[in-house]
Amino acid sequence: MTQIKALSAAVSAVLLSASAMAVDFHGYARAGMSTTDDGGEQTCYGSGGAGHLAGRLADECDTYVELQFGQELYNQGGKKFRVEFMPVFTSENDFQGNSAQWNSTYNNPANSDNDGEVNAWRGGDWSMRQAYAAAEGVVGFAPEATLWAGKRFYQRKDIHIMDWYYLNNSGYGVGLENIELGAGKLSVAWINMDQHVSDGTVDYSNDIVQNNKLDVRYSGIQLWEGASLEVAAIYGWADLTETQDDAGYDDEDGYFLTAEITHGLMGGFNKIVVQYAADSMGDSAYDNHGGESTLSTPWWGGSKESSFRIIDWGVVNLGEKIELGYSFMYAAAETFDDTLAEDEPTRMSVVFRPMYKWDDVMKTTLEVGYTEEDDVSSGDSNDLSKIVVAQEWSAGPSFWSRPSIRLYAGAFFGDQAEARDDDGNLRIGAQMEAWW
């Protein structure tokens, strides 16, 4: 009997240690093939960095893979320690791996540095986009809060169907998250951003200026039944070295403000976002990944001195079988250089993605989008519209179910498409998108 007991104790010890040692493997990935009426690969009007102002479906020409490895290292007595790592691969769909393996000496014209490597294996980049530790229950005055440091995606907010991050202050930093304070939760973070200074009043090409961002967020302010408000304020300033200071580098500072109302709507949700940005952060309420950059000196005269943006987006159920993702965005800005052809550019975007669910696996998805924006150099306003239909097979019945394997057909129209000789050009393709 003692043996049995010892054995069962050993077995449970093994099981428990297995539990504590478990590595959570999460991730995101997309990749696909395409062709068009004109032949060749499709051209894409957006990207992960620039977003997709007419919607992302049938507009993704890249391979993008996030691999996330997390582990809870300790969880006892209310104290938790956790580490997260995320190596990320990205490449355009050209000259990589399997597409040219048969000829190992083939030189990829996209490579400027022919250093004799097997070029078929080139074409992509890796980055450790997250590497941080988080601890809960370690700060005396706020045991509920999470203390973190390292490099991370910090409380990002995005419109999925546009790949548009309207609030993304990510990078190297330190912070304390979710401090219970009054009616809501307070999060405070300090995040760095490095800038290559190659333009501005003084041109010290390729020198790096560090900029700092103080990020304060207060979430969970209840407004009415089922609705809440979150406010975010980011203040950015240049952190010049003494040498840089003596040399007269610009040291612009600025700020970025966000107010977001979230409310439940038709089995889903709707978000109303209002943002304002100025000075060193003047681009933030105009471009994708707002809150990421604070510029000690503007990139060029067309950088925004101030910007304003209003967004309404959501995902709702239109019935048992139909889900709809939608977004409306309008942004207006003023450039630093007021002699440009258009020094007060505007940008608008409307995207609808209704989805009919045949069953738990198969869906028919339509995505229509329209965008129009001013070119500051020429003063022209350029539009782009899109219509795409896709048949999707995904693991689960929800709009959010992934992985999804999709076959699509569609076309782009308008000024931006004409400029690429792609107006009305039929494109077809197959893409996978996964998160897990």
**Residues found near other proteins in the complex (CB under 8 A):** 1, 4-5, 8, 11-12, 15-16, 18-26, 28, 35-37, 39, 68, 72, 75, 86, 130, 153, 155-158, 160, 219-220, 226, 228, 230, 262-264, 267-269, 271, 315, 320, 358-362, 364, 391, 393, 395-396, 398-402, 407, 409, 426, 428, 435-436
Q: Report the residue number, 35 or 243, with the smaller CB distance to other proteins.
A: 35
Cβ 325 to other proteins shortest distance, Å = 10
DSSP state letter for 199: S
CA torsion angle 279 284 287 289 (round to 10) = 140
Cβ 292 to other proteins shortest distance, Å = 14
Q: Report the residue number, 58 or 340, with the smaller CB distance to other proteins.
A: 58
Cβ 150 to other proteins shortest distance, Å = 14
Q: Report the residue number, 101 or 222, with the smaller CB distance to other proteins.
A: 222
Question: Per DSSP, which regions of 298-375 are E strands?
Answer: 304-317, 322-335, 346-357, 362-374
Residue 379 — left, alpha, or beta (φ > 0 → left; ψ -120 to 50 → alpha)?
Answer: left
Cβ 308 to other proteins shortest distance, Å = 22
Q: Report the residue number, 35 or 241, with the smaller CB distance to other proteins.
A: 35
CA torsion angle 90 93 94 95 (round to 10) = 70
Q: Report the residue number, 271 or 347, with the smaller CB distance to other proteins.
A: 271
- The secondary structure element, H or E, covering residue 376 is none
Residue 54 phi/psi, 5° resolution? -110, 20
Token digits of residue 138: 């370690």
Token digits of residue 83: 């580490």
Contact predicate 399/388, CB 8 Å = no
Cβ 197 to other proteins shortest distance, Å = 30
Cβ 306 to other proteins shortest distance, Å = 25
Gyration radius from the chain CA atoms: 24
Cβ 230 to other proteins shortest distance, Å = 7
Q: Report the residue number, 220 or 354, with the smaller CB distance to other proteins.
A: 220
DSSP state letter for 16: H
Q: Report the residue number, 115 or 359, with the smaller CB distance to other proteins.
A: 359
Neighbour-count burial for 11-44, b at 16+ CB within 10 Å, e otherwise: eeeeeeeeeeeeeeeeebbbbbebebeeeeebbb
Contact predicate 45/384, CB 8 Å = yes
Give the residue from 170, 416, 187 showing the smallest Cα distance to 288: 170
Cβ 159 to other proteins shortest distance, Å = 10
Per the listing, tokens 């020198």 go with 207
Q: Report the residue number, 153 or 276, with the smaller CB distance to other proteins.
A: 153
